[in-house]
Protein backbone atom coordinates (compact mmCIF):
# COMPACT_ATOMS: atom_id res chain seq x y z
CA UNK A 1 0.00 0.00 0.00
CA UNK A 2 1.39 3.37 -0.93
CA UNK A 3 2.13 5.99 1.73
CA UNK A 4 0.21 9.24 1.74
CA UNK A 5 2.19 12.35 0.85
CA UNK A 6 1.22 15.95 0.18
CA UNK A 7 2.82 18.32 -2.32
CA UNK A 8 2.16 21.91 -1.25
CA UNK A 9 2.84 24.53 -3.90
CA UNK A 10 1.83 27.95 -5.13
CA UNK A 11 1.91 27.53 -8.89
CA UNK A 12 5.07 29.62 -9.31
CA UNK A 13 7.90 28.70 -11.70
CA UNK A 14 9.97 27.05 -8.96
CA UNK A 15 6.93 25.01 -7.89
CA UNK A 16 6.01 23.96 -11.41
CA UNK A 17 9.59 22.93 -12.18
CA UNK A 18 9.83 20.82 -9.02
CA UNK A 19 6.46 19.24 -9.72
CA UNK A 20 7.24 18.31 -13.33
CA UNK A 21 10.71 16.97 -12.69
CA UNK A 22 10.57 15.58 -9.18
CA UNK A 23 7.01 15.00 -7.95
CA UNK A 24 5.87 13.49 -11.25
CA UNK A 25 8.75 11.00 -10.95
CA UNK A 26 7.43 9.39 -7.76
CA UNK A 27 6.25 5.82 -8.04
CA UNK A 28 2.52 5.88 -7.21
CA UNK A 29 2.91 2.44 -5.68
CA UNK A 30 5.25 3.96 -3.08
CA UNK A 31 3.77 7.46 -2.61
CA UNK A 32 0.17 8.52 -3.03
CA UNK A 33 0.61 12.24 -3.65
CA UNK A 34 -2.09 14.82 -3.00
CA UNK A 35 -1.31 18.15 -4.69
CA UNK A 36 -2.42 21.31 -2.90
CA UNK A 37 -2.18 24.74 -4.55
CA UNK A 38 -2.16 27.18 -1.64
CA UNK A 39 -3.11 30.10 -3.90
CA UNK A 40 -6.55 28.60 -4.35
CA UNK A 41 -6.81 26.50 -1.21
CA UNK A 42 -6.09 29.21 1.32
CA UNK A 43 -7.85 27.31 4.06
CA UNK A 44 -4.92 24.89 4.05
CA UNK A 45 -2.22 27.52 4.62
CA UNK A 46 -2.73 27.10 8.38
CA UNK A 47 -2.46 23.30 8.01
CA UNK A 48 0.78 23.66 6.05
CA UNK A 49 2.21 25.99 8.66
CA UNK A 50 1.23 23.65 11.49
CA UNK A 51 3.02 20.76 9.75
CA UNK A 52 6.16 22.90 9.74
CA UNK A 53 6.23 24.22 6.20
CA UNK A 54 8.15 27.48 5.90
CA UNK A 55 8.11 27.78 2.12
CA UNK A 56 6.82 26.08 -1.00
CA UNK A 57 7.33 23.91 -2.93
CA UNK A 58 7.40 21.28 -0.18
CA UNK A 59 6.70 17.58 -0.03
CA UNK A 60 5.34 16.16 3.23
CA UNK A 61 5.88 12.43 3.69
CA UNK A 62 4.60 11.06 6.97
CA UNK A 63 5.65 13.70 9.50
CA UNK A 64 8.66 14.84 7.50
CA UNK A 65 8.73 18.10 5.58
CA UNK A 66 11.01 18.39 2.56
CA UNK A 67 11.41 21.97 1.38
CA UNK A 68 12.57 22.02 -2.24
CA UNK A 69 14.44 25.20 -3.15
CA UNK A 70 12.20 28.20 -2.36
CA UNK A 71 9.44 29.56 -4.59
CA UNK A 72 7.41 31.44 -1.99
CA UNK A 73 7.30 31.64 1.79
CA UNK A 74 4.22 30.87 3.86
CA UNK A 75 4.28 34.52 4.95
CA UNK A 76 4.07 35.61 1.29
CA UNK A 77 1.09 33.33 0.78
CA UNK A 78 -0.70 34.64 3.85
CA UNK A 79 -0.39 38.09 2.37
CA UNK A 80 -1.82 36.92 -0.93
CA UNK A 81 1.46 37.17 -2.82
CA UNK A 82 3.53 34.64 -4.82
Residues that bind a second copy (CB under 8 A): 5, 17-18, 21-22, 24-28, 30-31, 59, 61-62, 64-69
- For the CB of residue 27, give the shortest distance to a second copy in the complex, in Å: 4
- Cβ atoms 7, 36 nearer than 8 A: yes
Q: Give the Cβ contact number of residue 60 at 10 Å.
A: 21
CB of 23 to a second copy, least distance (A): 10
Taking the least distance from each CB to a second copy, the nearer of 45 and 53 is 53
CA distances from 34 to 59, 61, 76, 81 (A): 10, 11, 22, 23
| Residue (32 or 81) nearer to a second copy, CB | 32
Amino acid sequence: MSQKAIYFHAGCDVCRGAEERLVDAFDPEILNIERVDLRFDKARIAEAEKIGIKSVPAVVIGESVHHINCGATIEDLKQGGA
